[in-house]
Amino acid sequence: MSRRIAFLFPGQGSQTVGMGKDFYDHYSEAKEIFDTADQALGFKISEICFAGPEEELKKTENTQPAILTTSIAILRVLEKYGLKGEMAAGHSLGEYSALVAANSLSFADAVRTVRQRGRFMVEAVPYGEGTMAAVLKVERQLIEKICQETEGIVEPANYNNRTEIVISGEVKAVRAAAEKLKEAGALKVVELNVSGPFHSSLLKPASDGLQGVLTNIRINDPQIIVYSNYTAEPSKNADEVRENLIKQVSNSVKWQDSIEQMIKAGIDTFVEIGPGSTLKNMLKRIDKKVAAYNVDSIQALESLKEVGLLMEEVRV
């Protein structure tokens, strides 16, 4: 039975010091991507990926190009072994990786853009004025209602899966909403260790800055279907890609909706490409029936070989 495969790409928070090093050491395709990133950015993002220090890797303007670079380096190795996806999606930052996979963005343009995206996001709201919190086991309609009724700016930021939605906004408003959500029966509300209120309207200045960047780079129509975080629908052409990337920064990530749409369209196998396994784990809380794999190491390549997803032996 033939599988229908979609690629998923992780976002900020999946980074770890050492990511991508085994691929860089063993595959010329991966080395070429890291070398291209170093050249495009004008500094050694590869060294930050491989050796840290962690404090440097955690800086948003470094984290974003580092994860993108690692994801695309792994993608190029998977492509070498014949793995193809007919659809793709990426969580927040990961949408850029998905668009590189679809040949909508060149890798060099994407890595420069996400470096600037990270800076815009940090600069949009002074540190300490915004935050985010994960809300577990509350219906999305109730979360939306409580956010609307809470004084100040607090909004749903990430619709991750059936049991987890992240809210974002001003510190005081997020904490006030968190208390109301606990009273309303939330299993848990956990404030996240983040540098800002990502995917909220407070990030509108970052959207504006990104618009200037994206207007000046070449964007092609995606060659495979790529689901937008902003609409939870495919971006049909270059203009839609650009518009959705601009809006994505200051609006919620409709991840659960995107995954459900892909499954409805016939996808039965998802492969997460990049550091960590966050998206694979989220999938289990969206639909347990689909097959889910993640590739963040050469060892994980072997597991794909064992389930018949790669065309040839993995040789190291």
Q: What does each C-alpha distance from 93 to 12, 14, 106, 245 come to in angstroms?
A: 7, 11, 15, 10
14, 46, 71, 92: which is the annotated catalytic residue?
92
* Inter-residue contact 135 to 147 (CB < 8 Å): no
Give the burial class of 42: count Cβ atoms within 10 A of its Cβ; 0-12 exposed, 13-18 middle, 19 or more buried: exposed
Q: In whole angstroms, give the CA distance from residue 99 to residue 220.
A: 9
- Annotated catalytic, 277? no
Catalytic residue among 104, 195, 199, 207: 199
Closest to 100 measured CA to CA, from 114, 119, 81:
114
What's CA 197's distance to the chain center, in Å? 16
CA 156 to chain centre: 17
> Is residue 92 among the annotated active site residues?
yes
Helix runs in 167-216, H state only: 171-183, 204-214
Active site residues: 92, 199
